[in-house]
Amino acid sequence: MAVRDWEAVIGLEVHAHLKTRTKMFCRCELEYGAPENTRTCPVCLAHPGALPVPNERAIEQTIKLGLALDCGIAARAIFARKNYFYPDLPKGYQISQYEAPLAGRGRFRLPRPDGDREIGIVRAHLEEDAAKTVHAGGATGRSVGADYSLVDFNRGGTPLVEIVTEPDLRSAEEAVWFLRLLRQTIVELGISDAEMEKGTLRADVNVSVRRRGEEGYRPRWEIKNMNSFTFVGRAIEAAIRQQVAAHEAGEPVEQSTYDYDADTDRLTVHRSKEEADDYRYFPEPDLVPVEPPAELVERLRAELPERPADRIRRIEPAVGFDAAVELVTTGRDRLYDRLVAAGAEARVAANAVMNEVAAAGIDPEAVDAGELAKVLGARERLPRDVYLEAVARSADPGFAAAPFLEQEAVSDASALEPVVEAVLAANPEQVQTYLGGKEGVLGYLVGQVMRETRGKADPRVVNRLLREKLRA
Ligand code: ADP
Ligand code: MG
Ligand code: ZN
């Protein structure tokens, strides 16, 4: 028995801070990095009698996200109280959504080399984030060994959307790929910066394993608040290894919460998971249900940009899976699209965008695609350095291809012949090596001719001439 006899079953709960000006239920401004406890008010500090007022923008953004995830949008969504005690939660409950989330069942098409996988979305609901606890003092400043804890209430009440997937992911690699593409989808909707390093995107990872072919699921481990793609992948791998070992040894695997320790690359039990009932969810009495008007939903639907997964699928037939993924995940596919629309050949455009344009460090959005398409069309007859210079200039204001196209490579054989002969005469050793069967030296000889012509010679013609002369 080995890990490969087992299949991983993974479901994610992804939290993203929404990009609103103010908090979810009060008018405090959200400002990352503001001095601690300077963005608070009676509502987000839970003073008696303070009442929440929902943030309309956050509701719209959640609907937008729901639509992008093909979710059904609730006609009547309900805020609910999720009760628990913790110093970062001054009300003693978090306002969330439970039975009637804004966005219900949906699906996410995940492009894979061998076709799309469909990842079920259970729900996407709107809630408020807790405040931030900082464990301070002590030798390390970490929670273990800290002398005391401080709470920064600036973050308390930040609008947070939670996306819950079905347990449809089947490997660490697939889960990380899903998370990356979901993140890009969220960012492109303009509703969140979704930066793991800043904590504006966090994921809880649920993992179990089962024997290949087995029906049903086994108990899962939940790894909370992962804040790096790398650690999400490693934590899943660790969970798979540890669970397979336990199952094979006949040891019990119980549902509980685990922490990932990067130093040991192992998971350790955090605490056993509370049942949903422990939270004593009930409808928030201070808020009326949210009833999004159909016109609003349709307007938001019309505003949706083409999703990254859809773009990958659209351009894949022309450039292949890997290139499509690279173009879309680097956000360079828009330039690719514009080049193709301007008449460039798909693979030529894809390669130029991923290689020369990327290496030139220019802003793809600023590139004049019509002019660059002309350069790409002529690139085979342009000297390499002229071609690269043209690409590097293609984002300059007023860029024109014409002056570059005039500098065609010298492909006139009669002009190149004397240079080729001179190079052969100057390199008798290489010529002997070539004639001895080592054809690899041809590249060196081509290089010499290119040098003599300062890159202006057409390498294909040089190649042909060299072969002819060496055969004679
Ligand atoms: P809870 O309400 O206790 O958080 P859910 O049923 O809502 O539990 O599931 C939470 C997450 O766990 C979801 O992302 C779901 O896909 C995932 N999940 C549920 N069962 C399993 C399992 N057996 N293995 C892996 N993931 C699971
Ligand atoms: Mg949950
Ligand atoms: Zn406030």
- Transcribe 110-122 into DSSP letters: EEETTEEEEEEEE
Question: How far apart are the C-alpha atoms of 262 and 238, rounded to whole Å?
Answer: 10
Q: Evaluate if pTM is beyond 0.95.
A: no
CB 319 within 8 A of CB 352: no
Q: Tell me, what's the pLDDT at 174?
A: 98
Q: How far apart are the first and last CA of the chain?
A: 65
Pocket test for ligand 1, best of 206, 247, 258, 275 (most atoms within 8 A of CB): 206
Q: Tell me, what's the pLDDT at 141?
A: 47
Q: Which two tokens stand for residue 205?
A: 């990872």
**59, containing H or E segment:** helix 56-68
Q: Tell me, what's the pLDDT at 1?
A: 56
Spatial CA neighbour of 329 closest among 303, 296, 344, 307: 307
The CB of 166 under 6 Å from ligand 1? The reply is yes
Other Cβ atoms closer than 10 A to 31 = 11
Q: Tell me, what's the pLDDT at 454?
A: 77
90 alpha carbon – ligand 3 mean position (Å): 12
The CB of 96 under 6 Å from ligand 1? The reply is no
The residue whose CA is least distant from atom 19 of ligand 1 is 167
Q: Tell me, what's the pLDDT at 451?
A: 86
Q: Reading across the β-sheet that carries 282-283, which strands appear in turn?
A: 93-97, 79-83, 282-283
**Residue 241 burial (10 A CB sphere; 0-12, 13-18, 19+):** middle
Among all bound ligands, the one having the nearest atom to the CA of 22 is 3
The CB of 208 under 6 Å from ligand 1? The reply is yes
Question: How far apart are the C-alpha atoms of 98 and 281, rounded to whole Å?
Answer: 7
The CB of 101 under 6 Å from ligand 1? The reply is no
**Residue 270 burial (10 A CB sphere; 0-12, 13-18, 19+):** middle
Among all bound ligands, the one having the nearest atom to the CA of 274 is 1
Spatial CA neighbour of 94 closest among 252, 364, 279: 279
Pocket test for ligand 1, best of 6, 162, 164 (most atoms within 8 A of CB): 164
Please report the domains of the chain, with CATH numbers, ordered by start residue: 3-301 (no CATH), 306-405 (no CATH), 413-471 (1.10.10.410)
Low-confidence ranges of the chain (pLDDT < 50): 141
154 alpha carbon – ligand 3 mean position (Å): 8
The CB of 287 under 6 Å from ligand 1? The reply is no
Q: How far is CA 67 from CA 94, 123, 354, in A?
A: 25, 11, 31
The CB of 165 under 6 Å from ligand 1? The reply is yes
51 alpha carbon – ligand 2 mean position (Å): 27
Q: Tell me, what's the pLDDT at 415?
A: 84
